Amino acid sequence: MTVPAGRLLEGLAMTCGAHRYVRDVTSYDAWHDRLGVQLGSAREHACVDCGRPARHWSLDVPLDDPRTLTTPGGYRYVLDTDAYRPRCPACHAAHDVLERRLARRAAQRHTPPPHSRPTTGTPVIQTLF
């Protein structure tokens, strides 16, 4: 079996056909492979935060970006090369920690306040004024 060069360049096929393996275009791993094909290795760039040599492509979009896809393991990704920035490992980790903190704060703000319920007697009516 042979694979057209375009499929390799677009990240749809991972080999020339010898292994007969083709990934789903929208999977997390396939998208990161495609980033490397389209943008080159992150190691060819400086970290956008500190200027040291980058090693990773890091997602850089708001948490509520409607284009965001999430893996079963909770990793976020977007099918748009413009959404990624080169980062060194330390800055990538710091960026992700900040993102998780912001997500927790947003979840806390959007969580309705707990309502107390009486265990016996008449129901209590609460007002939110």
As a 3-state breakdown, the chain gives helix, strand, coil percent values, each rounded to 5, of 35, 10, 55
The C-alpha atoms of residue 58 and residue 48 are separated, in whole angstroms, by 10
Q: How confident is the model at residue 64 (pLDDT cuts 50, 70, 90)?
A: confident
The pLDDT value given to residue 46: 96
Per-residue tokens: 47: 């970290």
pLDDT of residue 76: 87
According to the model, what pLDDT value does residue 14 have?
53
Per the CB < 8 A criterion, the answer to whether 56 and 73 are in contact is no
Q: What pLDDT is recorded for position 35?
A: 87
The answer on pLDDT for 37 being more than 70 is yes
Per-residue pLDDT band at 117 (split at 50, 70, 90): very low
Under 8 Å between Cβ of 14 and 33 = yes
pLDDT tens, position by position, 72-112: 888 889 999 999 999 999 999 999 899 888 878 877 876 55
- 45-65: b (≥16 Cβ within 10 Å) or e: bebebeeeebbbbbbbbeeee
